[in-house]
Amino acid sequence: MGARRSVRFLARSAAGVLAAAAVTVGVTVPASAAPLWPGGPDISLPPIPGITAPAPGVPTPPVAPPAPVEAPRGPANFSAPALNPSAGEVVGVAQPIIVRFAAPIDDRAAAERAIDVTTSAGDVAGRFFWFSDSQVRWRPDVFWPANTTVTVTAGDASSTFTVGDAIVTTADDDTKTITVTRNGEVVRTMPTSMGKVGHETPNGTYIVGERFRDMYMDSSTYGVPVDAPEGYRTYVEYATRMSNSGIFVHAAPWSVDSQGVENVSHGCLNVSTEDAKWFFETAQKGDPVVVQNTDGGILNGRDGLGDWQL
């Protein structure tokens, strides 16, 4: 955030001024030169504010810079907004911060100045992007550091949440395999079948959203009648959402023979019931799912869970 960058700049500036002053105190003059100040060597040097000259022969002690002053946030041009994640939540390393305002914002820059993000890991670079006049999001430039406490303050609203372990899932169409790592260590590999021709799964970094123990997947929800040639209404178990457009990791026992071999789904990541249950129980809100090497183009960043494409 801008305020945190200002703090670092002020700290460096203060240290630089003090260091320059300390060098001035330690200047030595050749014996043949005229004294710097008339009156002879027994005349005291002019005092430098904030620095006490040491006694002869005593080394100059290091001078600590003054504590930096946190730049204040700007005044809020909005009433208390809704914040996501909410206080006390544990989320994944790809989770964005979502600020929803009660009314449209006319001055977006002023609203951004009234929002502050701090973490237990120190400064984390990131940026805002607006979904509408009443919703702004903030995400780090790279995934959050694992096991970090984050506090977001927006006007009179505040939320402190925790980023948990770095659970990163990669689905590679070249190998038809899903690989899951926790804090850099591989914890599971799963054969998968992704979107078939005409329904290819888009590439990109998705974000784990809601989870359903079981549900019906219905093509009519995106405009394809159930009785159409590519229509369906299918009961599935252990469904973990990774896009608002309807892409899930879910159990597909009917396609086990194709998993790891060929793509037969309508875009979802089909896995066995055992693997789907494990993923359902392991993945957390905000975990990234990286899909790569498909022929499906790029996930729409405005999908709602596609923030990493923006």
Catalytic annotation present for 250 = yes
CA distance 164 to 212: 21
Contact 287, 164 (CB under 8 A): no
**CA 71 from centre of chain:** 23
Q: What is the DSSP letter of 258?
A: T
Per-residue CA distances from 228 to 90, 220, 225, 267 (Å)? 42, 9, 5, 17
Written as one string, the DSSP assignment of 27-62 is: ----TTSPPSSTT-TTSPPPPBTTBPPPPTTPPPPP
For 142, how many CA atoms within 13 A lie in the half-sphere containing its CB? 5
Instruction: Enumerate residues 6+ apart whose C-beta is below 8 A from 9.
Output: none
Q: What is the dihedral of CA 98, 103, 106, 112, to 10 degrees?
A: -30
Residue 98: which of 246, 310, 290 has the closest Cα?
310
Is 295 strand, coil or helix?
A: coil
Q: What is the DSSP letter of 96?
A: P
Q: What is the DSSP letter of 15?
A: H
CA distance 241 to 226: 21
CA distance 92 to 160: 14
Spot the catalytic one: 211, 250, 266, 285: 250
Catalytic annotation present for 266 = no
Spot the catalytic one: 115, 268, 269, 299: 268
State the catalytic residues: 250, 268
